[in-house]
A and B are shown apart, each in its own frame.
Chain A
Amino acid sequence: MQPSPVDIQHYLLLAALLFCIGVFGVLVRRNALVVFMSIELMLNAANLTFLAFARDRLDDAGHLAALFVIAVAAAEAAIGLAIIIAMFRNRGTVNMEDIRTMKY
Protein backbone atom coordinates (compact mmCIF):
# COMPACT_ATOMS: atom_id res chain seq x y z
CA MET A 1 0.00 0.00 0.00
CA GLN A 2 1.47 3.32 -1.09
CA PRO A 3 1.43 6.29 1.27
CA SER A 4 -0.98 9.02 0.26
CA PRO A 5 0.31 10.96 -2.78
CA VAL A 6 -0.86 14.18 -1.12
CA ASP A 7 0.52 15.04 2.31
CA ILE A 8 -2.05 14.23 5.00
CA GLN A 9 -1.34 17.61 6.56
CA HIS A 10 -2.93 19.32 3.53
CA TYR A 11 -6.19 17.48 4.11
CA LEU A 12 -6.10 18.46 7.78
CA LEU A 13 -5.47 22.09 6.82
CA LEU A 14 -8.45 22.02 4.45
CA ALA A 15 -10.58 20.50 7.22
CA ALA A 16 -9.47 23.22 9.65
CA LEU A 17 -10.39 25.92 7.12
CA LEU A 18 -13.80 24.34 6.44
CA PHE A 19 -14.49 24.05 10.16
CA CYS A 20 -13.63 27.70 10.73
CA ILE A 21 -15.87 28.77 7.84
CA GLY A 22 -18.62 26.84 9.63
CA VAL A 23 -17.85 28.49 12.97
CA PHE A 24 -17.87 31.88 11.25
CA GLY A 25 -21.30 31.15 9.74
CA VAL A 26 -22.73 30.01 13.07
CA LEU A 27 -21.48 33.10 14.90
CA VAL A 28 -22.16 35.75 12.26
CA ARG A 29 -25.25 34.78 10.26
CA ARG A 30 -28.73 35.59 11.57
CA ASN A 31 -30.87 33.26 9.47
CA ALA A 32 -31.43 30.04 11.44
CA LEU A 33 -31.39 27.96 8.24
CA VAL A 34 -27.96 29.26 7.21
CA VAL A 35 -26.69 28.68 10.75
CA PHE A 36 -27.87 25.10 10.39
CA MET A 37 -26.06 24.69 7.07
CA SER A 38 -22.90 26.01 8.74
CA ILE A 39 -23.22 23.26 11.34
CA GLU A 40 -23.36 20.73 8.49
CA LEU A 41 -20.14 22.24 7.13
CA MET A 42 -18.47 21.74 10.51
CA LEU A 43 -19.62 18.11 10.65
CA ASN A 44 -18.15 17.55 7.19
CA ALA A 45 -14.85 19.08 8.28
CA ALA A 46 -14.76 16.59 11.16
CA ASN A 47 -15.48 13.77 8.70
CA LEU A 48 -12.63 14.90 6.45
CA THR A 49 -10.28 14.75 9.44
CA PHE A 50 -11.43 11.22 10.30
CA LEU A 51 -10.91 10.06 6.71
CA ALA A 52 -7.50 11.74 6.41
CA PHE A 53 -6.25 10.01 9.55
CA ALA A 54 -7.80 6.73 8.39
CA ARG A 55 -5.84 7.04 5.12
CA ASP A 56 -2.68 7.93 7.01
CA ARG A 57 -2.86 4.98 9.35
CA LEU A 58 -4.57 2.62 6.87
CA ASP A 59 -7.23 1.87 9.46
CA ASP A 60 -10.83 1.36 8.29
CA ALA A 61 -12.23 2.31 11.71
CA GLY A 62 -12.00 5.99 10.69
CA HIS A 63 -14.44 5.28 7.87
CA LEU A 64 -16.91 3.87 10.38
CA ALA A 65 -16.60 6.99 12.52
CA ALA A 66 -17.42 9.07 9.42
CA LEU A 67 -20.36 6.77 8.67
CA PHE A 68 -21.78 7.32 12.17
CA VAL A 69 -21.25 11.08 11.87
CA ILE A 70 -23.30 11.05 8.65
CA ALA A 71 -26.09 9.07 10.34
CA VAL A 72 -26.16 11.38 13.36
CA ALA A 73 -26.13 14.40 11.03
CA ALA A 74 -29.22 13.05 9.27
CA ALA A 75 -31.03 12.68 12.61
CA GLU A 76 -29.87 16.12 13.69
CA ALA A 77 -31.06 17.70 10.42
CA ALA A 78 -34.52 16.15 10.78
CA ILE A 79 -34.96 17.35 14.38
CA GLY A 80 -33.37 20.75 13.82
CA LEU A 81 -35.48 21.55 10.77
CA ALA A 82 -38.61 20.47 12.66
CA ILE A 83 -37.66 22.91 15.42
CA ILE A 84 -37.15 25.67 12.82
CA ILE A 85 -40.60 24.96 11.37
CA ALA A 86 -42.18 25.06 14.83
CA MET A 87 -40.32 28.30 15.56
CA PHE A 88 -41.50 29.87 12.32
CA ARG A 89 -45.07 28.84 13.02
CA ASN A 90 -45.05 30.34 16.51
CA ARG A 91 -43.00 33.49 15.95
CA GLY A 92 -43.25 34.10 12.21
CA THR A 93 -39.49 34.51 11.85
CA VAL A 94 -36.30 32.49 11.57
CA ASN A 95 -34.08 35.41 12.49
CA MET A 96 -31.87 34.41 15.40
CA GLU A 97 -31.77 37.94 16.82
CA ASP A 98 -35.55 38.19 17.08
CA ILE A 99 -35.76 35.05 19.18
CA ARG A 100 -34.67 35.98 22.65
CA THR A 101 -36.99 33.99 24.86
CA MET A 102 -37.59 30.26 25.13
CA LYS A 103 -41.31 30.71 25.63
CA TYR A 104 -44.05 33.31 25.42
Chain B
Amino acid sequence: MRWRPCGDAAALAEVDDLDTVLRLHAAVAAAREAGALPGVVDVVPAARTLLVRCASSSSLEQTVESVARLSLPDAVPTASEEVTIEVAYDGEDLTDVAGHLDCDVTEVVRRHTATTWRVAFTGFAPGFGYLVPVLVDGDAHPLEVPRRPESRTRVPVGAVGLAGEFSGVYPRVSPGGWQLIGSTTTPTWDVDRDPPALLTPGARVRFREVGR
Protein backbone atom coordinates (compact mmCIF):
# COMPACT_ATOMS: atom_id res chain seq x y z
CA MET B 1 0.00 0.00 0.00
CA ARG B 2 1.39 3.38 -1.00
CA TRP B 3 0.05 6.65 0.44
CA ARG B 4 -0.17 9.77 -1.70
CA PRO B 5 -1.12 13.12 -0.14
CA CYS B 6 -4.25 15.08 -1.24
CA GLY B 7 -3.71 18.41 0.46
CA ASP B 8 -3.51 18.85 4.24
CA ALA B 9 -6.25 16.47 5.41
CA ALA B 10 -6.70 13.69 2.84
CA ALA B 11 -4.64 10.97 1.19
CA LEU B 12 -5.00 8.21 -1.39
CA ALA B 13 -4.07 4.66 -0.46
CA GLU B 14 -2.86 3.13 -3.71
CA VAL B 15 -2.95 -0.65 -4.08
CA ASP B 16 -2.43 -3.19 -6.88
CA ASP B 17 -5.95 -3.99 -8.01
CA LEU B 18 -9.67 -3.32 -7.56
CA ASP B 19 -10.14 -6.40 -5.38
CA THR B 20 -7.58 -5.09 -2.87
CA VAL B 21 -9.27 -1.66 -2.91
CA LEU B 22 -12.60 -3.28 -2.05
CA ARG B 23 -11.13 -5.43 0.72
CA LEU B 24 -9.36 -2.39 2.17
CA HIS B 25 -12.60 -0.41 1.91
CA ALA B 26 -14.45 -3.19 3.77
CA ALA B 27 -11.83 -3.14 6.53
CA VAL B 28 -11.99 0.68 6.82
CA ALA B 29 -15.81 0.64 6.83
CA ALA B 30 -15.84 -1.98 9.62
CA ALA B 31 -13.31 0.02 11.66
CA ARG B 32 -15.37 3.21 11.24
CA GLU B 33 -18.51 1.36 12.32
CA ALA B 34 -16.64 0.21 15.44
CA GLY B 35 -15.69 3.83 16.15
CA ALA B 36 -11.98 3.17 15.58
CA LEU B 37 -11.42 5.91 12.97
CA PRO B 38 -13.11 8.96 14.50
CA GLY B 39 -11.45 11.66 12.37
CA VAL B 40 -12.62 10.30 9.02
CA VAL B 41 -15.10 12.47 7.08
CA ASP B 42 -15.28 10.67 3.73
CA VAL B 43 -14.00 7.47 2.13
CA VAL B 44 -14.05 7.09 -1.66
CA PRO B 45 -13.07 3.76 -3.23
CA ALA B 46 -12.08 3.78 -6.90
CA ALA B 47 -10.34 1.49 -9.39
CA ARG B 48 -6.87 1.34 -7.73
CA THR B 49 -7.17 3.73 -4.79
CA LEU B 50 -9.07 4.46 -1.60
CA LEU B 51 -9.37 8.17 -0.77
CA VAL B 52 -9.51 8.90 2.96
CA ARG B 53 -10.50 12.45 3.91
CA CYS B 54 -10.25 13.57 7.53
CA ALA B 55 -11.24 16.57 9.63
CA SER B 56 -7.65 17.80 10.04
CA SER B 57 -4.02 17.10 9.25
CA SER B 58 -3.38 15.48 12.63
CA SER B 59 -6.42 13.21 12.41
CA LEU B 60 -5.26 12.16 8.92
CA GLU B 61 -1.84 11.19 10.28
CA GLN B 62 -3.44 9.15 13.08
CA THR B 63 -5.94 7.56 10.65
CA VAL B 64 -3.24 6.52 8.19
CA GLU B 65 -1.34 4.78 11.00
CA SER B 66 -4.50 2.95 12.09
CA VAL B 67 -5.43 1.96 8.53
CA ALA B 68 -1.95 0.52 7.93
CA ARG B 69 -2.54 -1.83 10.89
CA LEU B 70 -5.95 -3.12 9.70
CA SER B 71 -6.11 -6.69 8.50
CA LEU B 72 -8.03 -7.08 5.27
CA PRO B 73 -10.79 -9.65 4.77
CA ASP B 74 -9.89 -12.52 2.40
CA ALA B 75 -12.83 -11.80 0.15
CA VAL B 76 -14.98 -8.79 -0.58
CA PRO B 77 -18.29 -9.03 1.23
CA THR B 78 -21.21 -9.03 -1.20
CA ALA B 79 -24.66 -7.84 -0.24
CA SER B 80 -27.39 -10.47 -0.27
CA GLU B 81 -29.83 -8.16 -2.02
CA GLU B 82 -29.98 -8.39 -5.79
CA VAL B 83 -31.16 -5.50 -7.93
CA THR B 84 -32.68 -6.28 -11.33
CA ILE B 85 -32.47 -3.68 -14.07
CA GLU B 86 -34.58 -4.08 -17.20
CA VAL B 87 -32.71 -3.06 -20.32
CA ALA B 88 -33.72 -2.50 -23.91
CA TYR B 89 -30.54 -3.40 -25.80
CA ASP B 90 -30.76 -0.59 -28.34
CA GLY B 91 -27.47 1.23 -27.65
CA GLU B 92 -25.70 3.12 -30.41
CA ASP B 93 -22.41 1.33 -29.76
CA LEU B 94 -23.78 -2.25 -29.62
CA THR B 95 -22.31 -3.17 -33.01
CA ASP B 96 -18.92 -1.62 -32.12
CA VAL B 97 -18.86 -3.56 -28.85
CA ALA B 98 -19.61 -6.81 -30.70
CA GLY B 99 -16.73 -5.93 -33.05
CA HIS B 100 -14.31 -5.37 -30.14
CA LEU B 101 -15.29 -8.73 -28.63
CA ASP B 102 -15.28 -10.52 -31.97
CA CYS B 103 -18.82 -11.82 -31.53
CA ASP B 104 -22.33 -10.81 -32.63
CA VAL B 105 -24.80 -8.45 -30.97
CA THR B 106 -26.91 -11.32 -29.61
CA GLU B 107 -23.86 -12.69 -27.83
CA VAL B 108 -23.12 -9.27 -26.24
CA VAL B 109 -26.67 -9.18 -24.87
CA ARG B 110 -26.41 -12.79 -23.70
CA ARG B 111 -23.17 -12.09 -21.81
CA HIS B 112 -24.49 -8.87 -20.24
CA THR B 113 -27.68 -10.57 -18.99
CA ALA B 114 -25.97 -13.86 -17.98
CA THR B 115 -23.41 -12.11 -15.75
CA THR B 116 -23.98 -11.32 -12.10
CA TRP B 117 -22.52 -7.85 -11.48
CA ARG B 118 -21.47 -6.23 -8.25
CA VAL B 119 -21.35 -2.50 -7.46
CA ALA B 120 -17.65 -1.90 -6.82
CA PHE B 121 -17.90 1.81 -6.04
CA THR B 122 -19.81 4.99 -6.94
CA GLY B 123 -18.42 8.11 -8.50
CA PHE B 124 -18.41 10.36 -11.57
CA ALA B 125 -21.98 11.54 -10.89
CA PRO B 126 -24.34 10.99 -7.92
CA GLY B 127 -25.67 7.44 -8.12
CA PHE B 128 -23.33 6.29 -10.89
CA GLY B 129 -22.32 2.77 -9.80
CA TYR B 130 -19.24 1.13 -11.31
CA LEU B 131 -20.28 -2.52 -11.81
CA VAL B 132 -17.81 -5.39 -12.13
CA PRO B 133 -18.64 -9.00 -13.01
CA VAL B 134 -18.67 -11.49 -10.17
CA LEU B 135 -16.12 -13.95 -11.57
CA VAL B 136 -15.26 -17.42 -10.42
CA ASP B 137 -11.47 -18.06 -10.30
CA GLY B 138 -10.06 -18.29 -13.77
CA ASP B 139 -13.11 -16.89 -15.59
CA ALA B 140 -12.23 -14.32 -18.21
CA HIS B 141 -14.01 -10.96 -18.09
CA PRO B 142 -16.99 -11.40 -20.45
CA LEU B 143 -17.29 -7.82 -21.69
CA GLU B 144 -14.05 -5.86 -21.42
CA VAL B 145 -13.99 -3.08 -24.05
CA PRO B 146 -12.13 0.24 -24.34
CA ARG B 147 -13.82 3.59 -23.84
CA ARG B 148 -15.03 5.35 -26.98
CA PRO B 149 -12.20 7.27 -28.65
CA GLU B 150 -14.22 10.45 -28.20
CA SER B 151 -16.54 11.34 -25.38
CA ARG B 152 -20.19 12.18 -26.20
CA THR B 153 -21.28 15.60 -25.00
CA ARG B 154 -24.72 14.29 -24.03
CA VAL B 155 -25.58 10.80 -22.85
CA PRO B 156 -29.27 10.35 -22.00
CA VAL B 157 -30.65 9.34 -18.57
CA GLY B 158 -30.81 5.55 -18.22
CA ALA B 159 -28.17 4.77 -20.85
CA VAL B 160 -26.44 1.45 -20.09
CA GLY B 161 -22.75 1.35 -20.97
CA LEU B 162 -19.46 -0.52 -20.86
CA ALA B 163 -15.91 0.80 -20.38
CA GLY B 164 -12.78 -1.07 -19.37
CA GLU B 165 -13.67 -3.65 -16.73
CA PHE B 166 -16.91 -1.82 -15.80
CA SER B 167 -20.59 -1.60 -16.74
CA GLY B 168 -22.83 1.23 -15.56
CA VAL B 169 -26.10 3.14 -15.89
CA TYR B 170 -26.11 6.93 -16.38
CA PRO B 171 -28.28 8.38 -13.58
CA ARG B 172 -28.78 11.75 -15.31
CA VAL B 173 -27.98 13.45 -18.58
CA SER B 174 -24.24 14.03 -18.72
CA PRO B 175 -21.25 13.92 -21.00
CA GLY B 176 -19.72 10.44 -21.23
CA GLY B 177 -17.22 8.27 -23.05
CA TRP B 178 -18.63 4.80 -22.32
CA GLN B 179 -19.80 2.41 -25.05
CA LEU B 180 -23.60 2.51 -24.96
CA ILE B 181 -25.32 -0.86 -25.35
CA GLY B 182 -28.85 -0.19 -24.10
CA SER B 183 -31.24 1.86 -22.02
CA THR B 184 -33.36 1.40 -18.92
CA THR B 185 -36.35 3.21 -17.46
CA THR B 186 -35.41 2.11 -13.92
CA PRO B 187 -34.40 5.27 -12.02
CA THR B 188 -30.94 4.86 -10.47
CA TRP B 189 -30.90 8.16 -8.54
CA ASP B 190 -33.79 9.69 -6.57
CA VAL B 191 -33.05 12.16 -3.77
CA ASP B 192 -36.44 11.44 -2.18
CA ARG B 193 -35.51 7.77 -1.72
CA ASP B 194 -33.30 6.47 1.12
CA PRO B 195 -30.67 5.64 0.01
CA PRO B 196 -31.02 7.88 -3.06
CA ALA B 197 -28.79 5.61 -5.16
CA LEU B 198 -30.30 2.33 -6.41
CA LEU B 199 -26.82 0.90 -6.91
CA THR B 200 -24.96 1.02 -3.60
CA PRO B 201 -21.47 -0.42 -3.13
CA GLY B 202 -21.56 -4.18 -2.55
CA ALA B 203 -25.01 -4.72 -4.10
CA ARG B 204 -25.40 -7.47 -6.71
CA VAL B 205 -26.99 -6.52 -10.02
CA ARG B 206 -28.57 -8.50 -12.85
CA PHE B 207 -29.71 -7.07 -16.17
CA ARG B 208 -32.85 -8.46 -17.87
CA GLU B 209 -33.69 -7.85 -21.50
CA VAL B 210 -37.03 -6.22 -22.32
CA GLY B 211 -38.51 -5.20 -25.68
CA ARG B 212 -37.67 -1.80 -27.10
Q: Do A and B come from one complex?
A: no
On A, residues with C-beta under 8 Å from B are none
On B, residues with C-beta under 8 Å from A are none
